[in-house]
């Protein structure tokens, strides 16, 4: 039988996983996106943000006018909240997996 502490932990994890994407602030999104694109965070503008469960999809625009479709994920576990790196593809180009480059 499961202990009370285990049940409490599981309940909290389930509750938090449903709102994981709302745990990501715009400042975190901007910093992760700037790192992925190799530009300064001051050069990034985020728009059209959509939170979908444990992922966030959005559009990023650089100061030079380049536009990207980006996404990042959030995982909530017993270790806490973890935000994945941003994955961005130039607008109008097919999505590419950066791990396969």
Along the 101 residues of the chain, how does pLDDT read in single tens digits? 567 666 565 555 555 554 444 568 899 999 999 999 999 999 999 999 999 888 999 999 999 999 999 999 988 888 888 899 999 999 988 777 666 66
**Tokens read off for 29:** 């999104």
Tell the burial category of 46 from Cβ atoms under 10 Å away from its Cβ (0-12, 13-18, 19+). Answer: middle
Tell me which residue range forms the domain holding 56.
4-93
- Count of domains forming the chain: 1
pTM of the model: 0.71
Q: Cα separation of 3 and 50, whole Å?
A: 38
For residue 101, tell me if it sits in a domain.
no
57 by DSSP, 3-state: which? strand
For residue 35, tell me if it sits in a domain.
yes
For residue 98, tell me if it sits in a domain.
no
For residue 41, tell me if it sits in a domain.
yes
């Amino acid at each position: 039988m499961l202990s009370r502490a285990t049940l409490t932990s599981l309940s909290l994890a389930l509750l938090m996983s449903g709102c994981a994407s709302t745990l990501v602030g715009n400042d975190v999104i901007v910093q992760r996106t700037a790192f992925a694109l190799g530009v300064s965070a001051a050069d990034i503008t985020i728009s059209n943000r959509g939170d979908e469960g444990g992922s966030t999809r959005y559009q990023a625009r650089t100061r030079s006018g380049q536009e990207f479709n980006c996404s990042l994920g959030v995982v909530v576990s017993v270790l806490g909240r973890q935000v994945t790196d941003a994955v961005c593809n130039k607008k109008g180009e097919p999505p590419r997996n950066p791990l396969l480059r």
